[in-house]
Amino acid sequence: MQYQAIVIGTSAGGLNALKIVFSSLHENFSIPILVVQHISSHSDNYITKFFNNLCMLNVKEADEKEKIEPGNIYFAPPNFHMMVEEDKSISLSVDKKVNFSRPSIDVLFETAVYAYCPALIGIILTGANNDGAKGLKLINDNGGLTIAQNPKTAETRTMPQEAINISKTNNILDLEEIGKFLNKIDKDQKKILKNLN
Amino acid sequence: MNQENINENINIEIKLLLEAIFTKYGYDFRNYSKAHIKRRILHRVSASNLNSISEIQHKVLYDKDFFEIILRDLSINVTEMFRDPSFYKHLREEVVPILKTYPYIKIWHAGCSTGEEVYSMAILLKEEGIYDRTQIYATDFNKLVLQAAKEGIYPINKIKEFTYNYQKAGGVNSFSDHYTAKYDSVILNKSLKKNIVFAEHNLVTDNVFAEVNVVICRNVLIYFDKKLQNRVFNLFEESLIQGGYLCLGSKESLSFSNNFNKYTIISDKEKIYKKKLGI
């Protein structure tokens, strides 16, 4: 399997968790990453600034109709849902909140399934509600790879626990392992591509 | 049947449904964001306990009431008063002083949904002392939301957020001066409605209807594809007077459109553009 995209969802405790995952990704990591971090609708772009300073990849707030390209990490803007189009571009929407959230993890995961599955990796990290659980199940049901942060070591355990219960994912990892796991996948699939050429 | 085939069939069914809606009722969703349309339609399939999108198509053709439900599903009805307060603050500080130099001001609020942002504008203009010489055209393609907009009654549980936005937007009075609370609702002051005309207008299929000083169209274009966006940008450009202002949503941009060279940027962050003179 050549994975084409990674989607990540998190809420409470997410900034610290993402920091650990992102800072461990190697500099030519090429699978594009789309992130929903629950956040106040009034916040500015400090998140992207914060992550750009500590990781090798280009971190940005998603723009509407933006093409999803390798080497980038896209964050859903505050107060917008982020969706993936089947032509691998990003759409934004101000639709109703889903699971009391906008951006909602389920909305991103659901639309990413249609655009990428089975070549999709879905990850749920620390958080305090059940947004993303259905989405992770959908990725699992459609042949994608799913990962949940180990609830025992998560800052807030509800979200990964719900995701595990509903999606039945087998990949339950500590934060430190997730970055390594992704690096290995990226490296392995580059090797395969190289051999094919 | 494998997943890929199912998805292919879903996409075919959606395409046929949108054709059916356009042919039968004249509402054209064929150039809307596909992910948005698909999400809404699949939700309708499960909410109405249907087996397939083709069943929606059948019901839409034979049942006008069901069509109204689909129309509501596909339109964007989420908004708030003074949404993005910094935009209204900027408008108050940078655009209103110029508007004050005109004897008569016309504003087109395109895609006004349930009216929250139209009344926000009316409040702002009132506080700046120019509402009495302003005419606001507030349009939407959906009759139901226009009806709600005309009423100007909103749930009281939204007031906390509206008040917060109003203050952040540079409101000069107390927000409660502009409404009366009754049971679970707030009723906006009648005087705010005086110079607003609510009317049906479809950005996808209808044309220019007035020459205006300001066009406000926020968080509507994100649902359109590039082709449709350009159609709408042309419509706005034809509607604006020279030196008129175009205001878009915080994630929308004129930068990649055919019309970009006809405007100067007033605020890149707040997405306020001014049509050049001599165009």
**Chain A interface test: which of B36, B44, B217 (most A C-beta within 10 Å):** B36
Active site residue A38: yes
Which of B7, B11, B76 is closest, CB to CB, to A94?
A: B76
- How would you write the pLDDT of chain B (279 residues) with one tens digit per residue? 566 778 899 999 999 999 999 999 999 999 999 999 999 999 999 999 999 999 999 999 999 999 999 998 998 878 899 999 999 999 999 999 999 999 999 999 999 999 999 999 999 999 999 999 999 999 999 998 999 999 999 999 999 999 999 999 999 999 999 999 999 999 999 999 999 999 999 999 999 999 999 999 999 999 999 889 999 999 999 999 999 999 999 999 888 788 899 999 999 999 999 999 987
* Neighbour count for residue B23 (Cβ, 10 Å): 10
Q: What is the pLDDT of residue B1?
A: 57
Residues of chain B with pLDDT > 90, as a percent, come to 90
**Domain B85-275 in CATH: superfamily?**
Vaccinia Virus protein VP39 (3.40.50.150)
Catalytic residue among A24, A81, A106, A131: A131
Q: What is the pLDDT of residue B53?
A: 96
> With 0-12 CB in 10 A as exposed, 13-18 as middle and 19+ as buried, what is B108?
buried
> With 0-12 CB in 10 A as exposed, 13-18 as middle and 19+ as buried, what is B87?
buried
Q: What is the pLDDT of residue B5?
A: 79
Which of A92, A96, A142 is closest, CB to CB, to B222?
A: A92
Instruction: For chain A of 197 residues, list the mean pLDDT of each consecutive stretch of 10.
Output: 96 94 94 94 80 89 94 95 96 93 97 96 96 97 97 96 96 97 96 86
Structure ipTM: 0.89
Contact across the interface for B222 and A85, Cβ inside 8 Å: no
Q: What is the pLDDT of residue A40?
A: 79
Task: Enumerate residues 6+ apart whose C-beta is below 8 A from A177.
Answer: none
Q: What is the pLDDT of residue B77?
A: 79
What are the structural domains of chain A?
5-196 (3.40.50.180)
Active site residue A131: yes
Q: Mind spelling out the 3-state secondary structure of chain B?
A: CCHHHHHHHHHHHHHHHHHHHHHHHCCCCCCECHHHHHHHHHHHHHHCCCCCHHHHHHHHHHCHHHHHHHHHHHCCCCCCCCCCHHHHHHHHHHHHHHHCCCCCEEEEEECCCCCHHHHHHHHHHHHCCCHHHEEEEEEECCHHHHHHHHHCEEEHHHHHHHHHHHHHCCCCCCHHHHEEEECCEEEECHHHCCCEEEEECCCCCCCCCCCEEEEEECCCHHHECHHHHHHHHHHHHHHEEEEEEEEECCCCCCCCCCCHHHEEEEECCCCEEEECCCC
Q: What is the pLDDT of residue B10?
A: 95
Using the Cβ of A105 and the Cβ atoms of chain B, whether some distance falls under 8 Å is answered with no
Domain ranges of chain B: 3-74, 85-275
